[in-house]
Structure 1
Amino acid sequence: MSQTIDNAPYTAFHRRLALACSGGPLLDGYILSIVGVALIGMRPDLGLSTAEVSLIGAAALVGMFVGGALFGVLTDKIGREVMYTADLLVMVACSVLSFWVDAVWAITLLRFVLGMAVAADYPIATSLLAEWLPAKKRGRLLGQQIVAWYAGSVLAYVVGYLFLELAGPGSWRWMLASSTVLCVVFLVIRRGSPESPRWLAANGRVGDAVRVVEKHLGVRVDGRELMPDPAERGRPAGLRLLLTQPYRRRTLFCGLFFMCQVGPLFAMLTFGPQILSSFGMPGGTVMETLGTGLISLVFLLGCYPALRLIDTRGRRPVIIWSFALMTVPLALLGVWPTAPAAIALLALCAYAFLCGGPNVLDWTYPNELFPTEIRATAVGVATSVSRIGAAVGTYLLPLSLTGLGTGPTMLIAAGVTALGLLVCVAWAEETRGTALGASPAAPAASAGASAGARTARGAVPAQRVAQTAR
């Protein structure tokens, strides 16, 4: 694959494309967080049981599990551009319908379909963005997509708070329907976004790839340079390729670290008011909502130093140290379940800030570790696996708080985070500065003495990086 795209200057075209691609993560953060506020009014209005509250909270995450795997494969087969608008139209329809339904099964179904549409956007948008970005900007711009997620989450709590203050808990229908506005905004922003030249070339449309590069990057490129590496031809496609070496281990790594990260995280954001209430946060509605909104804001702020560190220190050391430190505040709350509300809020904010490392690598890693023909599939599978943990955590958290208590619930969250640490120590690779079309090779060793040395140095030499990821 030509180095034209990897070495291209960063332009207004890249900035607009990054903004357009941020729509999916922003809507995900908004849609998953607004339901936590809406449930404050929905529960008494509809007479929901704890199990029904859990079901509604987890429905979108189950939908993301299905949608990530399904639409990642489709995106690699039919292209990024084709799917780019359809998923937003589905989100619009589900958001509007959410205003009119009042049966638990209907709300659950709409949340499930919304989850499928949001999950579809991840492999579509992040693969498209990764395949257009120059190498020196790729880690930062892919990492900034998760910043959009937390911006959406913070916005959801601000909007939810305003609805609670101005219209009361009975405004939950308006809260669920409010995502329609964001969907329409990003439908407008995405107009005219081009197909990925890497996908076009990999699927035999070299002429189209040449034309789209010349149009949007302003450079002429030899069509022969855009052709995939001959070594890539004749390989099994789709999910089958993910199950071959070296991709099998990379698939497990991306899915498992993502799952161990978002399991506690999504449960916390969806039921943040209930968690803070268990530590004695006063107010019943507004105070817990503001507290959870603050935690969401800290999640967002923690991404900014992590964006710098993944480019200066490397991907591997950042993700390992982040998981190690994230375990501490959760374990503290586990062994001190009677902590004052202020201490609990500070500990959860510390956890949120330290999540920045894994957050900015959620989509950076799968896009850098896999080749063009399975990149969207890999992102979709990683998203699906992660949502298993998120859905289970979101469904079980209110039941655990009620049945086991706050301390054991926090210790379980700490254990899941510690498992993520072990996965990263064993399998995390260094992909900083890698050309997206670099030749494949066996992943660099990531355990034992060599792993320790690499972690201590913060990065591997550039010539070895080029051999470890695409």
Structure 2
Amino acid sequence: MTTTNPLDDAPLSTFHKKLAVFSSGGPFLDGYALSIIGVAMVQISGQWNLSSAEQGLIAASTLIGILLGAFAGGWLTDRFGREVLFTLDLVAIIACSVAQFFVEGVVWLIVLRLLLGMAVGADYPIATSLMTEFAPRKYRGPLLGAFVTMWFVGAAAAYVVGEVLARTAGDDAWRWMLASAALPAVLICVARVGTPESPRWLVSKGKIDKANEVLLKVYGPGVTVADLPAEEETNVGVKELLRSGYGKRMAFITLFWTCSVVPLFAVYAFAPAILGALKLEGDAAHIGSAAITILFMVGCIVALLLVNRMGRRPLLIHSFVWSGLALLLLGLFPGAPSAIIMVLFAAYAVLIGGSQILQWVYPNELFPTEVRGSAVGLASSLSRIGAAIGTFLVPLSLTSLGIGVTMLIAAGVTLFGAVISQMWAPETRGLSLSESAGLGQTTKSPASAETISV
């Protein structure tokens, strides 16, 4: 039986709810920044006479920045703590966003988008580590999984803001679009001020008195570092991470994360082209693209309701299997009636939600406090490489191989994720962080895991 602990089994307090909202600001800004450039690019291309290569570099620079920033942010938060960096990265996002308003020339825009991406990417391991180390075990999965949902909220907000500015701001509309990310970043930054440091991180650095001060502030009198579950002594640094017993866990997370995001990023980025190739054109393609975006969000919300009821492992496997079958049918029958095509795309968008939310749950649960940020950052960076390659190859595949083969490849990647999950996915539902992260602990099987409802 899992032992009761005043921190792991604490009720969901106002502090936890506020921290969840403030922490999810990073994914919101990620979705906003990556989407707003697509709207702005229409006007920028005309004014600056951009080549296809220049457009591609501007669009890709943010993704490259996220790749770099995620690992750097993870290393920095493990070394210097979560608290300071939790607001410092937002300051960088604000500065880069405002600077874009005054930019002149392609090179400087690429540089600023790169720096913006680095700041956004750095926030992922910082915010998720902090949220993980405060969240009660009963709510940890849903709270971390909600981060992905906020990505789609940010993307939707960007399209609305972009459309409004395009109609009202004249020739400088694109400047206002790119600078507009500063407003939500300022609000999130102000809200984050005063967030306490993780007591688990403080203890890992020997700062016991400060850890007790944080515990008193958050949980009230009577809770001290003695109530923190003892973590297994790992002495694992960043360099030793892949050579330690955590190497297999890193391989699992990187592979399943990549298998999840490669088809999704490709479908999301090229939905109009893909739907057009499947004989849905004009308004039908635009409506279909918007509907798919909404359904991705719906899928994440459904998965949040299931992550504790089903458990991590079953949810991940089912998500890959059934979404992969939807893509497989699209590949086998690309000439099916439009209604069938939309149903299959809708099924994929909803069913892939399980693997999406677990991208932030598993990495934070499977690594100890001293390397949690680094592990999350490294996994995020490695998965972005696959996503970037997959997104780059989609238009080439559509042109040279056709829509049917393209969908079959996407199905193969997704179903490979199911195989990896069947082989390596542990069940961490109901475990404390010390239990799920310790190499000496065996994670529970789905059959033995305690049932928890939210």
The two structures share one fold, judged by TM-score above 0.5: yes
Instruction: Quote the Cα distance in structure 2 between the aligned partners of 1:348 and 1:260.
Output: 17
Partner of 1:19: 21
Cα distance, 1:171 vs. partner? 3.6
CA distance change for structure 1 residues 101 and 332 in 2, over 3 Å: closer, same or farther? farther
Conserved in 2, the CA contact under 8 Å of 1:161 and 1:290? no
Name the SS of the counterpart of 1:131 in structure 2: helix
- The answer on 1:325 being equivalent to 2:327 is no
Preserved contact between residue 295 and residue 352 of structure 1 (Cα < 8 Å):
yes
Corresponding letter in the other structure for 2:98: V
Cα displacement string for residues 210-259 of structure 1 (whole angstroms, at most 9, x for unaligned residues): 11111111132344444854x516x23234134311x1111111111111
Match of residue 418 from structure 2: 421
CA contact (8 A) 2:428 2:443 kept: no
Is the Cα–Cα contact under 8 Å of residues 33 and 270 in structure 1 kept in the other structure? no
**Structure 1 segments unaligned to the other structure (5+ residues):** 447-453, 466-470
In structure 2, relative to structure 1, the CA distance for the partners of 1:155 and 1:327 (3 Å cut) is same
Map of 1:372 onto structure 2:
369
Question: In 2, Cα distance between the equivalents of 1:171 and 1:342?
Answer: 37
Q: Give the 3 Å change call, closer, same or farther, for CA 146–49 of structure 1 in structure 2.
A: same
Q: Which residue in the other structure is 2:155 paired with?
A: 153
Task: Indicate if the aligned counterparts of 2:215 and 2:223 stay in contact, CA closer than 8 A.
Answer: yes
TM-score, normalized by length of structure 1?
Answer: 0.87
Amino acid of the structure 2 residue aligned with 1:352: A
Q: Tell me the distance in 1 between the aligned counterparts of 2:158 and 2:55.
A: 18
Partner of 1:302: 299
> Which among 385, 398, 401 is matched to residue 401 of structure 1?
398
Distance (Å, rounded) in 2 between the aligned partners of 1:99 and 1:292: 29
With over 3 angstroms needed to count, the CA separation of the structure-2 counterparts of 1:315 and 1:226, relative to structure 1, is: closer
Moved more, 204-213 or 161-170: 161-170
Letter in 2 for 1:181: L
CA deviation vs aligned residue, 1:179-201 (integer Å, no higher than 9, x gap) = 12211111121121111010011
Provide the aligned length of Structure 1 versus Structure 2.
449
Cα deviation 1:368-413 (Å, max 9, x = unaligned): 1111111111111111111011111222333433444433332322
| Shift in CA distance, 214/41, structure 1 to aligned 2, threshold 3 Å | same
Q: Distance in 1 between matches of 2:387 and 2:342?
A: 21
Compared with structure 1, are the counterparts of its residues 398 and 92 closer, same or farther at alpha carbon in structure 2 (3 Å cutoff)?
farther
Corresponding residue for 1:450?
Answer: none
- Which of 424, 438, 443 does residue 440 from structure 1 map onto? 438
Greater mean alpha carbon deviation, residues 41-50 or residues 416-425:
41-50
Deviations 1:11-42 (A, max 9, x none): 11111111110100111111122223333444
- Give the TM-score normalised by structure 2: 0.90
Select between 168-177 and 109-118 the one with higher mean Cα deviation.
168-177
Q: CA deviation at 1:290?
A: 5.0
Aligned to 2:240: 240
When residues 345 and 227 of structure 1 are mapped into structure 2, their CA distance, relative to the original with a 3 A threshold, is closer
Q: Deviations over 1:280-326 (max 9, x none)?
A: 5544xx87555433222111111122112210111001100101111
**1:15-414 counterparts in 2 under 5 A?**
15-101=17-103, 103-164=105-166, 171-226=173-228, 228-229=230-231, 231-232=232-233, 235-245=235-245, 247-283=246-282, 290-338=287-335, 343-414=340-411
Deviation at 1:276, TM superposition (A): 3.5
1:460 matched residue in structure 2: 448
CA displacement, residues 75-115 of structure 1 (integer Å, 9 cap, x when unaligned): 10100012111111111122223334364433332222222
8 Å Cα contact 2:7/2:227 also seen in 1 = no
Work out the CA distance in 2 between the residues paired with 1:202 and 1:181. 36
Q: Which amino acid aligns with 1:396?
A: L
1:59/1:391 contact within 8 Å kept: no
Q: CA 1:315–1:274 in 2, change beyond 3 Å: closer, same or farther?
A: same
Give the counterpart letter for 1:430 in structure 2.
Answer: E
Counterpart of 1:329, as a letter, is: A
SS of corresponding position for 1:460: coil
Alignment gaps of 5+ in structure 2: none
Q: Distance in 1 between matches of 2:363 and 2:83?
A: 20
Mean CA deviation greater in 153-162 or 168-177: 168-177
Identical-pair percentage: 46
**The 10-residue stretch of structure 1 (437-446 or 403-412) with the greater mean CA deviation from structure 2:** 437-446
Q: 1:383 to 1:392 in 2, by over 3 A?
A: same
After superposing the two structures, state which structure 1 stretch, 423-432 or 235-244, moved more. 235-244
Q: By how many angstroms is 1:339 displaced?
A: 5.1
**Distance change >3 Å, CA 161–CA 193, structure 1 → 2:** same
- Conserved 8 A contact 1:318-1:357: yes
After TM superposition, the structure 1 stretch with the greater mean CA deviation from structure 2, 199-208 or 271-280, is: 271-280
State the shift of 1:43 in Å.
Answer: 3.9
Change in 2 beyond 3 A, CA 1:281/1:272: same
Q: Write the letter of the residue equivalent to 1:232.
A: E
**Equivalent residue number for residue 7 of structure 1:** 9
- Residue 141 of structure 1 deviates from its aligned partner by 0.9
CA–CA separation in structure 2 for the residues paired with 1:324 and 1:168: 48
Q: Give the secondary-structure state (helix, strand or coil) at the position aligned to 1:379.
A: helix
State how far apart, in whole Å, the 2-side matches of 1:433 and 1:154 are: 34
Cα pair 1:61 1:115 within 8 Å, conserved: yes
1:416 to 1:39, Cα distance in 2 relative to 1, 3 A: farther
Counterpart CA distance in 2 for 1:129 and 1:280 is 44
Q: Distance in 1 between matches of 2:50 and 2:281?
A: 22
Cα separation, 1, equivalents of 2:238 and 2:326: 40
What are the superposed Cα offsets for residues 430-469 of structure 1, whole Å, 9 maximum, x if unpaired? 00011112272367599xxxxxxx5xxx443449x9xxxx
Q: Distance in 1 between matches of 2:115 and 2:391?
A: 17
Q: Please identify, of 93-102 and 76-85, the stretch whose mean Cα deviation from structure 2 is larger.
A: 93-102
In structure 2, the CA distance between the partners of 1:108 and 1:15, relative to structure 1 (3 Å rule), is same
Query: How many angstroms apart in 1 are the aligned matches of 2:176 and 2:287?
Result: 19
Amino acid at match of 1:254: I
Root-mean-square deviation (CA, aligned residues, Å) is: 2.9
